[in-house]
Amino acid sequence: MSAKILSGTETAKTIREELTVEVAELKDKHNVVPGLVTILVGEDPASQSYVTAKNKTAKALGINSEQVTLPVDTNEEDLLALVEKYNNDAAVNGILVQLPLPKHVNEAKVLDSIDPNKDVDGFHPVNVGNMVLGEKCFLPCTPHGILELLQRSGTETSGAEVVIVGRSNIVGKPIANLMLQKREGGNATVTLCHTRTKDLAFHTKRADILIAAVGVPKVITGDMVKEGVVVIDVGVNRIGKAESGKAILAGDVDFDAIKEKAAAITPVPGGVGPMTITMLMKNTVQAAKMANGLL
Ligand code: GUN
């Protein structure tokens, strides 16, 4: 068997076309232009490229987008003051602080300082709490993108054995939660594995849907999955540099080996990454609608 490729690039393109229409309508009918601010502290190359992609996508959709880049030694107080400024700016509907932050800054404190109504990342405790309760909230972008990708590819989740590898706040914990919820795209039996899991392969071999979000290149090998599994690879690992200077990327799963056994698999790049960015746009449009009484 050779797996169907679950192209995030293609699915994201469809959703972006839908959003472009929605943004144009907001402007024409209500004179509302969604506004997004991204804040990057430091010069981490991966973070730089994510933030640049987020701004470029926002602009292409007709969203007002501002990118703020601060030096790596920016102190916590200054960062909190900047967030507060955008909390009070009516033209800004969404605020995103790119993670990870430098060690001297308290990440939780910064995320807590973002107005929950502008928290388009879905990382504020109010949004996390509402997500767990299944209430209306901003869903975190990567888990939201995974749900859309599964749903739009017609993957059945109800009753499926979903095995997630990685327990981060950004991916593992929220996707585990969303997939077990009693709703469309949920109703799965979820196993969440992590660095202390005793026999990882025992669990991954049982998966109907396997979600890898560990940040270690090709750690999930061909012998760790069963025939017919659907694999979502969240890993974007830089494993070298091409002559052109461009980073060579690899996912958390051994794509070449697993595609021979899987029913479907996301590529890296071009899988989950474009979906994450697109869900940020969706949340920003949602935030603009909420701020203007249109939701
Ligand atoms: N770092 C890695 N993924 C993300 C994300 O989805 N949002 C933010 N703010 N930082 C990240």
DSSP class of 250: E
Q: How far is the CA of 99 from the centre of ligand 1 (A)?
A: 5
- Mean pLDDT of successive 10-residue stretches along the chain, which has 295 residues: 94 98 98 98 95 98 98 98 98 98 98 98 98 98 98 97 98 98 98 98 98 98 98 97 94 98 98 98 98 96
Q: How far is the CA of 280 from the centre of ligand 1 (A)?
A: 10
Residues 101 and 180 in one domain: no
Asked if residue 59 lies in contact with residue 108, where contact means CB atoms within 8 angstroms, the answer is no
As beta bridge partners, residue 95 has 37
pTM given for the model? 0.97
Residues 181 and 226 in one domain: yes
CATH number at residue 75: 3.40.50.10860
Question: Which of 57, 98, 141, 276 is the pocket-test mutation for ligand 1 (most atoms within 8 Å of CB)?
Answer: 98
Domain span including residue 62: 31-115
Catalytic residue (choose from 115, 119, 121, 254) = 121
Distance CA 133, CA 147 (A): 17
In a domain? residue 134: no
Helix axes 125-133, 172-180, angle to 10 degrees: 30
Active site residue 198: no
Residues 108 and 147 in one domain: no
Domain termination site, one of 57, 81, 115 = 115
Domain termination site, one of 98, 115, 132 = 115
Active site residue 121: yes
Distance CA 227, CA 247 (A): 31
| Triad 226, 228, 233: Cα angle to 5° | 80
Q: Where are the beta strands (DSSP E) in 90-201?
A: 94-97, 161-165, 189-193
In a domain? residue 221: yes
Q: How far is the CA of 98 from the centre of ligand 1 (A)?
A: 5
Residues 158 and 219 in one domain: yes
Residue type, 220: I
Cβ of residue 53 lying under 6 Å from some atom of ligand 1: no
Cβ of residue 280 lying under 6 Å from some atom of ligand 1: no
Distance CA 47, CA 216 (A): 17
- Give the Cβ contact number of residue 193 at 10 Å: 23
The closest-lying atom of ligand 1 relative to the alpha carbon of residue 142 is 6
Number of domains in the chain: 2
Active site residue 109: no
Residues 147 and 263 in one domain: yes
Per residue in 231-272, pLDDT (tens digit) is 999 999 999 999 999 999 999 999 999 999 999 999 999 999
Per residue in 187-241, pLDDT (tens digit) is 999 999 999 999 999 999 999 999 999 999 999 999 999 999 999 999 999 999 9
Residues 164 and 237 in one domain: yes
Cβ of residue 98 lying under 6 Å from some atom of ligand 1: yes
Q: How far is the CA of 29 from the centre of ligand 1 (A)?
A: 32
